[in-house]
Structure 1
Amino acid sequence: MYHGGDPAAAAALYGILRDDWLDLSTGINPHAWPWRQRVEFDDVALERLPSRGDLESLTTAARAAYRVPDETEILPVAGIEPVIRQLPSLVRKAVLLDTSYASYRTAFDDEIPVLRGPSEIPARSSVILVNPNNPDGRILSPETILSLAESRQDADLVVVDEAYEDALSERASVVPLMSRMQNLVVLRSFGKFYGLPGLRLGFIIAHPPTIAPLRERLGDWPVSQLAITIGRHALADREWQEKTRLRLDTQAHELRALLAAHALQFESQSPLLALIRDDRAAEMHRGLAAHGIWTRIFTDRPGSLRLGLPGDESEFRRLEVALKEILPS
């Protein structure tokens, strides 16, 4: 799968209606920010282009939510995917720290080296990493990332994709420390934690010399009025954010307990992801699909099966019943 979140082909293959699937193929929060209840849509002026003030209201909210230092710039974008495709124009020789995101390899025409750990990174190269990582949820400390940036200050960038960081109760973002290193670039996805991937909103955080060419390429209206309005309200909703992190932690613990009860080996430092390591991964993927549960496997990682987080008790029970039927007791 190139991306999770689209079981339409599976619906045809297994004869199960699209609406009857439990989609666990993504790492998206199943508890979306309640935009229908929290936003007055009379405030969404789709009849005009976003003004500079509209964009500033969004970036102000994002600056506070992500704890962006004053001297560091923040640029809203229509999702992180277009930015990933721009990376070859920003970095010279680059390496990719182990991740399943196919978009990074595609952006570099599959010619970017993929390394398994920080110790393998060569001295003179830019580094792209995902933290927490996808699909295994591995977390590097901000200090480790700062050390990587410090070791390559001569025009080599360290690009950190923090798409899953918002969901962590113990925060691991390097953003608050960016004033210490000029060669850090951080990508923040809005859709995963807020459960609204269809809004297509994200942010690039970097120092002015790095962000300037991207700002010029993306133009005067990088995001829509709808994204601006929903984004700035959600980013300012601290109470929802804190309650949601606690809720995700509780449900992640329940998912891990369920997997452990079936003697499944897994990795999961992010509440939104659990990566099962098992020689039966492909068989489990097909077995769960036959029960209308869509998961994610990886052509470059045989023996790996990734689960997202079920949204409620009925979804947990559905997964539990399916595992009991497809795994030997």
Structure 2
Amino acid sequence: MLNHGGKLRQYAKQFERPFNEWVDLSTGVSPFTYPIGNIPEPIWNRLPEDEDGLIEAACGYYQCNNLLPVAGSQAAIQLLPKLVLNRYLTLPNIAQDDVPIFRVGLPKVGYKEHQLAWRNAAFIYKQSGVLLEYYFYDGEPAPADLVQLDALLVINPNNPLTDKFTPEQLLAWRRSMKPDAVLLVDEAFMDMTPEQSILHHYASHFGSKSLPENIMVLRSLGKFFGLAGLRVGFLFACPLILERARSHIGPWALTGPSRFVAAQALTDHPWQQQNRSRLLKEGDRMQQLLATHFSQPPNGHFLFYTVKLDNAEEVHIALAQQGILTRLCDEKDAVRFGLPKTEQEWQSLEQALNRIKEV
């Protein structure tokens, strides 16, 4: 089991501080939750239905017509290796190989559930006679590696590094790969800059609201809309891949109330614009605050800001001792800060930072 942010109760117990006396900045989830009104009683009573308006709302918001709602993008992350490898095994030239070797490129630093999903797949598919090889890249994949890859995963923007890549750059990488190779793009934090999405690129530049067979995209409702507890995400791919994904997931992947709230959030354009403006303002404030307290400038992407530190673990613990929960990055060389929600939380963070010193 990997370590994630949001484990506030665990830290409250560890540091012997009451749960309600913490400022939780350990996730990249917006502190501003989409307002949930009354959910009609029949939605709680009936089984979820596909014809409830969620698909249409998502198609309009993401500008892509081929999608599958899933229980958070995490559900799709765990499913991606199976979808990609099963497709790989159907390619005509693969059946001729004695021991097919599948090469996948993964970011060395990034949301670690991707690496875990592919490592788990390696064990399963080895029994089917397929060997997986991993290429871990820093920042951008090297051209010499791209030509050997059967799949490339890009987290755009990267969490926690905040590296961003243009759609043109992603498609250029795809063209450098093997003809049948697959490009996988995790856009969980793309909502602040929707025009930079590869989905938007296909709609605006190619006039297409569908993706080719060799591109798959993940999106998450939880981050920008502040609805992580709703567990709603989307997988975008060609119809054949989506049908296979649907068969693996089974019926009723999302609850009726989750679908109802998600459809409302995705069609509430005034709230979306208001939230973007608010997050821009709050993000600028966090950027300035961290730049004041640390010599290393923070890297940020609106919802979270990451500071590289030689003593990252010490800073993380020192803040936790004062009731500020941050995310110690997996490499233990950086601390990631989410956004406070209230002015009181901002003041608590600033006071805590004033009490610690960077070594």
Q: Considering the TM-score relative to the shorter chain, is it more than 0.5? A: yes
Give secondary structure in 1 for the equivalent of 2:335: strand
Helix, strand or coil at the partner of 1:41: coil
Tell me how far apart the structure 2 counterparts of residues 266 and 209 of structure 1 sit (CA, whole Å): 45
Alpha-carbon distance in 2 for matches of 1:260, 1:298: 19
Is the contact between residue 44 and residue 225 of structure 1 (CA under 8 Å) also seen in structure 2?
no
Aligned residue identity for 1:129: V
Are the structure 2 counterparts of residues 317 and 42 from structure 1 closer, same or farther at C-alpha, using a change threshold of 3 Å? same
CA deviation map 1:40-77 (0-9, x unaligned): 322652222122312xx101101111111x5xx11101
After the TM superposition, list the runs of 4 or more consecutive aligned residues in structure 1 that deviate by more than 6 angstroms.
Answer: none
> Is 1:310 aligned to 2:340, yes or no?
yes
Say if 2:107 and 2:137, in contact at 8 Å, map to a contact too.
yes
Deviations 1:183-230 (A, max 9, x none): 111100101111011111100111112222101112232211011100
Residue matched to 1:29: 30
Offset of residue 263 of structure 1: 3.4
* 2:355 aligned counterpart, secondary structure: helix
Say whether residues 1:127 and 2:152 are aligned partners.
Answer: yes
Equivalences for residues 182-261 of structure 1 within 5 A: 182-261=213-292
Equivalent-residue separation in structure 1 for 2:166 and 2:29 (angstroms)? 23
Contact 2:105 2:141 in 1 (8 A): no
258 and 42 in structure 1: CA distance in 2 versus 1, 3 angstrom threshold: same
Q: 1:269 Cα deviation (Å)?
A: 4.0
Closer/same/farther in 2, CA of residues 104 and 45 from structure 1, 3 Å limit: same
Q: CA RMSD in A?
A: 2.0
One-letter amino acid of the structure 1 residue matched with residue 274 of structure 2: K
2:330 matches 1:284: no
Equivalences for 1:107-118 in 2 at 5 Å? 107-109=117-119, 112-118=134-140
Larger radius of gyration: 2
2:40 maps to amino acid:
D
Structure 1 position 173 matched with structure 2 position 173: no
Indicate if the aligned counterparts of 2:21 and 2:323 stay in contact, CA closer than 8 A: yes
1:328–1:148: structure 2 CA closer, same or farther, 3 Å change rule?
Answer: closer
Deviates more, 1:191-200 or 1:111-120: 111-120
Corresponding residue for residue 96 of structure 1: 106
Measured in 2, the distance between the counterparts of 1:145 and 1:227 equals 32
Q: How many residues align?
A: 319
2:43 is aligned with what amino acid? A
Q: Which runs of 5+ in 2 are unaligned?
A: 86-101, 123-133, 203-207
1:151 corresponds to which residue?
Answer: 176
Question: Could you tell me how far apart the structure 1 residues matched to 2:336 and 2:283 are?
Answer: 13
Instruction: Say if 1:264 and 1:277, in contact at 8 Å, map to a contact too.
Output: no
State the alpha-carbon separation in 1 of the partners of residues 313 and 34 from structure 2. 33
Which amino acid in the other structure matches residue 175 of structure 1?
L
CA–CA distance in structure 2, aligned partners of residues 306 and 44 of structure 1:
41
- 8 A Cα contact 1:293 1:319, kept in partner: yes
Distance in 2, Cα, partners of 1:3 & 1:136: 16
SS at match of 2:191: helix
Question: Which string of whole-angstrom CA distances, capped at 9 and with x for unpartnered residues, describes residues 271-308 of structure 1?
Answer: 01111011121111111001000111134x23211111
Shift of 1:328: 6.3
Hey, what does 2:20 align to over in structure 1? Answer: 19
* Contact map agreement 1:44 1:229 (CA 8 A) in 2: no
Contact 1:99–1:130 under 8 Å retained in 2: no
Aligned partners of 1:229, 1:153: CA distance in 2, in Å?
41
Secondary structure of residue in 2 paired with 1:91: helix
Letter in 1 for 2:12: A
Q: TM-score, normalised by structure 2?
A: 0.84
Give the counterpart of 2:302 among 236, 254, 271: 271
Equivalent position amino acid for 1:50 in 2: P
TM-score by length of 1: 0.91
8 Å CA contact retained: 2:311, 2:358 = no
% identical equivalent positions: 33
Deviation of residue 153 (structure 1)? 6.2
2:51 partner SS = helix
Matched-pair contact (CA < 8 Å) for 1:282–1:303? yes
Q: What secondary structure does 1:283 align onto?
A: helix
Task: Give the match for residue 66 of structure 1.
Answer: 62
User: 3-state DSSP class of the match of 2:45?
Assistant: coil
1:98 touches 1:129 (CA, 8 Å); kept in 2? no
2: CA distance between counterparts of 1:322 and 1:304? 17
